[in-house]
Structure 1
Amino acid sequence: MARRAPSEDDDGGLDSLLDTMTNVVGILVLVLIVTQMSVAEVVTRVTSESDIDEEKVAELEQQLLTKKKEAYELSRILVDPLDIDAEAQREELRKSKELLARRQKQIADSKKQMNEYAMKIESDREMAEKAATEIANTKQQREQMQTLIATSLEQKAKLEAMLDQTPKRQVAADVEVSIPNPRPAPPGSKEASFVCSGNQVFPVNAEVFRKRAEVKAKAIIQRLGLDRDPKAGIDPEKFTPLYEKLKDQDNFFDVEYYVQGKTWPRIRLTPREGRGATESMLATPRSRFRRDLLSQLDATKYYGRFYVLPDSFDVYVAARSVFSQQGILAGWEPQNEDWLYTTHITGGIRLGPPPPPPKNPPDPNAPKPKPASVID
């Protein structure tokens, strides 16, 4: 085959070929570069991974050694279930429970003992505080007592000095007092009453006052017609205001009218100040009191009865001396300081409806009570 002569078309083909070859070479170069880079990276990574694996291997070997030791220790502790003695284990468990119970009891006893110690300490502390307070009070009382003793000694010295300067007084005459001999009044004798108040003796003319009160009370009843209904009796609401307005008196007493318990009209005697007989009057035989009153008492018909208030014992003793001189029997009855002579009125006047008859009437054959001992 004959060769053709070169032409312009052939030049263009070579250029294209050269361009293609250039491109292929460039691509190959790039592939080579990339390949080299990948190989280097792979080498580096492999090298790095080799180093990490060695460290992990060493760590795992250490862990394996530890586990082997733990397995050895466990093999020493663990017992084969077939080798366990159940009775021995139960006995050991029972002993352990007993030991635990004893220890718990010891702990409880210890706590109780500690609480008791704490309470005792608190009690001792309170007792100590109380004792300290008592000591302080005792000290204060002792100081007060010393001051009082010093004051008393000083007052005693003053009184002794005053006593030394006081002239001696004559000793008063002895008072003769008879030994008490309580006994009833002689049969048939009447009581002559005397009130000893304000260290004076007041003769009581009670019978006259009772009669006057009876007359005045019956006058009220008749004027108001209060006795027309025996079942209803005397109305105390109508009777009392008029009765308690009444007054009476004599030379020795003011007489007050009053109703007791809305049932019984009574009188109350208040001594008139300065109207009684004094000790000097009793000591004078010709005094009016002795001449007009005491000399009129018949020793065979009367006996004296003295009601003595706390402030009048001396005048009572003087009066009893006069009675003894005249041979008149007498007795006395001490009273409190605000006592007043009171008595009923005659006539059997009772306010309100009459009381029901007694369920058990008195036995007429019953022995009579013994008379009161009014003589001493």
Structure 2
Amino acid sequence: MAKRREAHDEELPFVALMDTMTNVVGVLIIVLVMIGISLAQAVRKVLSDLPPVTKEQLEELKKVVVKDTPKEDPKKLEEEMKETQQALKKASEELKTMDLSMDKSSPKHMDLDELRKQLEERKKVRDTSKEEVDKLLAEVDKLKKAIDSTPRYVPPPATVVKLPNPREIPENATVQRFIVTGGKVYYLNDIEFMKYVVQEIEKNQKSLVFGEVPVKDTFGNPVMEKVRGKDVPKMKTVFDQKKIVQHFVNLRLPVRDLKMELVEAPNAPRMPMRLTPNPQGGEGIEQFKNPASTYQRAVRKFKSEPNTVMWFYVFKDSVEAFLAARDYADTEGVPVVWELYGNPFYQRNVAEFEVNFTPPKPQPPPPPGTVKIAAPKMTAD
């Protein structure tokens, strides 16, 4: 006879599990029964609490239910619901985007006082700019009025100028000088004026003499001479500059075209004679074109004298008058020399007499190797 197998310990948990499940099922059945009893009691109570309904009221309620029942197709309603949900989702996304944009574009919080300060500063800048613009506009208006009132410039007619034809001045030439200023030609006639000055000084030399002074050589040493067997300094007579000036002032020479006077030269041994044009004198272009004019009579006289050269000192305002005067001299064949001039007078030294003077301080000798450039030779044009 076979042996009975002994029970193993592994079978005990399974039996316990079956017992537990049976207990749970039993409890659930009891709960379901209790729920059913509770529902039956609740239904009975609801039905007992309802008021009695007549047949007419029931029919009326059915009509209301039928009336409130939607007539649309359920599929169509479902599609519309989906579209509504999509639109709602899209609107939500747009709203989020707008919120972000508003956050970005919203101005940062700033101090109100700082804003007011900036506003005041910008107002000041604006007012300053406005004042400057107003000034500029006023200046523009002023310039426009000036332009409108300015007469249109009409250039003068063209002037024909001959090309120069340089020629050497003849040796021992007699130079007759003219000044052209203010559109007029003045004959200086300085040769005759100088003769008159020399004669007047010689005639009145006793009252004009300053005294006798020793003659000195180029090095400043006195020149010696023998007198009665003795070496004595050689003396020379000098004239007083102030006396000479006053003498010619007292003469009161008649003034026509030129004013003649002698002026002091405190640091020179020779005194200059000065000729100054008189604005009421001289001859304009129309005047000296007349054959009887002083200018034409002088040119005809110079033509008859050999080696005579006419020298013109021309002011920049009288080039046209000089060109007209030169044309006539050219037709007569008298050589002409001219130069631009700026002094309001002409003067030359009285070489025949020495006057008292204070020698200027000696200039230092030029450094060794200094190149001296000779003045250019004057030529007739």
Using the size of structure 2 for normalisation, the TM-score is 0.48
Using the size of structure 1 for normalisation, the TM-score is 0.48
